[in-house]
Structure 1
């Protein structure tokens, strides 16, 4: 009878364990010992999709030129009529939704991003911005580099040798599921990897399923769903290893969590109930003899 109890308890304990193959990230099929020390084991090309601008995006426009700064109408216009208030509200929303973690991780330009680069322009209908003396500048579908060139060319009549830098201010993403700090986050980098995003959210828990991380992406008005296997190092060469604005990561939980939470607390009770039933049955069987 004691042997049956021990076997039952052992089975439940084993089912609640998480093997290292379910936890170790970026695993390689080949044995590491087969490679010389300090050698390059693998190489993967970085393949992020170029970020393109669309209606509703918020960008900062910074102009450097030989024109005296007091004549920099772009800066003055940005500070007076830009979307400062909207960006402040965005930060408050993200701070609440992200558990107070509003982009202080990968790509953040300072330790306090809440008050960094809050002056910007929101692309209006058709993805255009409007500048004084210049008028509307269409930027729909343009990369940041292309947008910088278009604005620079538009400013040549007003600035001497202008240099324009356009930065993206509305890169938001969400992480839900079996993660330390689920919520909505923002960053100021345009090349954000899945691991960067996970680290901003406190990374995985003990029971996170690293083999099937769901990526939900909106493209052309449709929802696209991908599954990312972070146990396989070949994910480093995937275009989906880089996030796009508005992406959502859904981290599933391993079955071991349900076993640990629900099966183990009831194990002693169930084994005791079974053993009591067997004892009663044996006692009745002997009394019949």
Structure 2
């Protein structure tokens, strides 16, 4: 019985060391897989990444516009304003949705007096010029001194996968990069794959999908580094999550000890 117990102990010990070594090589997540924007090419603390030229966003179906018209005489522009929005101190996301101008399936928006205006494929600046021209020609006089601004009713994107808070997000700013979008979603979890973050983008020519490596600083040169409205971001899990052996060395060792203890107990019970 003593010899048998010794053999069991020796076998368990050897298995423990073997599994321990393999776990450290396969289960633990390296620090380099968790750090963003690493300098993988040059040596030194200071690097310069060439910026990319951003093309202006062109409107698509279901975009919502916030159009604000001002004039010296407020009565002249009262018809273009929502009473609910006018009386509020700020514009909530729901107010912008219900009171904004939505681009319909035909690429048009409908405005009081002016009727339908085609805006599909236009930039915000082109829409502003187009509406201002129609107002001066059909409603105001040139000397009315109107001031017109056209903006998207929030920058909307959807993020899913291994992040803190999934779902559709809205940021009230002109430009949003992938790092800001992820930070707004509670960052990528430890088991999220930062080296292959998928961005799905709807364009006038079709759907584009691309993976970007957020651990490489050169990602800032990618046309997908800056998001466009209605982009979908998906963070895939690392293989360590499916293994379930732990995200750190301590967690992995704890898992192995538990499994070995269970296996030894079962073996001894069956043997007896």
Q: Normalising by structure 1, what TM-score? A: 0.72
Partners of 1:205 and 1:275 in 2: how far apart? 34
CA distance in 2, matches of 1:277, 1:71: 85
2-structure distance, mates of 1:143, 1:162: 20
Structure 2 unmatched runs, 5+ = 1-9
Residue of structure 2 equivalent to 1:11: 22
CA distance in 2, matches of 1:26, 1:220: 31
Match of 1:124 among 104, 125, 143: 104
Q: Does 1:56 align with 2:67?
A: no
Query: Cα 1:275–1:7, aligned 2, differ >3 Å: closer, same or farther?
Result: farther
Provide the alpha-carbon RMSD of the alignment. Answer: 3.3
C-alpha distance in 2 between matches for 1:11 and 1:55 = 52
Secondary structure class of the residue paired with 1:156: helix
In the TM superposition, residue 51 of structure 1 has moved relative to its aligned partner by 1.2
1:248 maps to 232
Distance in 2 separating the partners of 1:130 and 1:257: 49
CA distance in 2, matches of 1:252, 1:180: 13
| Matching of residues 1-289 of structure 1 within 5 Å | 1=10, 2-33=13-44, 41-66=47-72, 68-73=73-78, 76-79=79-82, 113-114=92-93, 117=96, 119-157=99-137, 158=140, 160-169=144-153, 171-220=155-204, 222-261=206-245, 264=252, 267-268=256-257, 270-272=259-261
Distance 1:206 1:3, change over 3 A: same
Task: State the distance in 1 between where 2:189 and 2:201 align.
Answer: 24
Q: CA deviation at 1:57?
A: 1.9
Is the CA contact (8 Å cut-off) linking 1:129 and 1:139 kept in structure 2?
A: yes
TM-score by length of 2: 0.76
Measure, in 2, the Cα distance between the counterparts of 1:146 and 1:211.
Answer: 37
Shift of 1:232: 0.9
Provide Cα deviations, 1:140-182, integer angstroms capped at 9, x if missing partner.
2110011111111111241512221101016422111111111
Shift of 1:27: 0.9
Are the structure 2 counterparts of residues 258 and 13 from structure 1 closer, same or farther at C-alpha, using a change threshold of 3 Å?
farther
Distance 1:274 1:132, change over 3 A: closer
Point out the more displaced range, 143-152 or 165-174.
Answer: 165-174
Query: What is the distance in 2 between the residues matched to 1:149 and 1:136?
Result: 15
- Structure 2: distance between partners of 1:49 and 1:231: 25
CA distance in 1 between counterparts of 2:158 and 2:111 reads: 33
Could you say what secondary structure the match of 1:72 adopts? helix
